[in-house]
Amino acid sequence: MAAVPVIIFMFTATMILTTAAAPLTLMLERAFPNHGIHLDELRARDTLRHGRLLKYSEHVVGLDVY
């Protein structure tokens, strides 16, 4: 029974030291590449998409945000 806390301690210490030595890095990529599309066109697409989502949903309320 005394070995269990020691194993947990060693595992935790190993994880902390490993993370500190080599921090986790994430590569961020766009879900939908821009390809030079203007912001106005992206807004129009987003408005249409939100409209479709609201049209087919019974429990979502759409509010304009300014």
CB 8 within 8 A of CB 15: no
What pLDDT was estimated at residue 51? 84
What pLDDT was estimated at residue 2? 67
Confidence of residue 21 (pLDDT cuts 50, 70, 90): low
Residue 53: which residues within 8 A CB-CB, separation 6 or more? 60
Segment 8-18 mean pLDDT: 79
- DSSP letter at 37 equals -
- DSSP letter at 40 equals H
pLDDT tens figures, 23-61? 667 787 777 776 788 888 888 998 998 888 878 777 767
45's tokens:
């697409």
What pLDDT was estimated at residue 44? 92
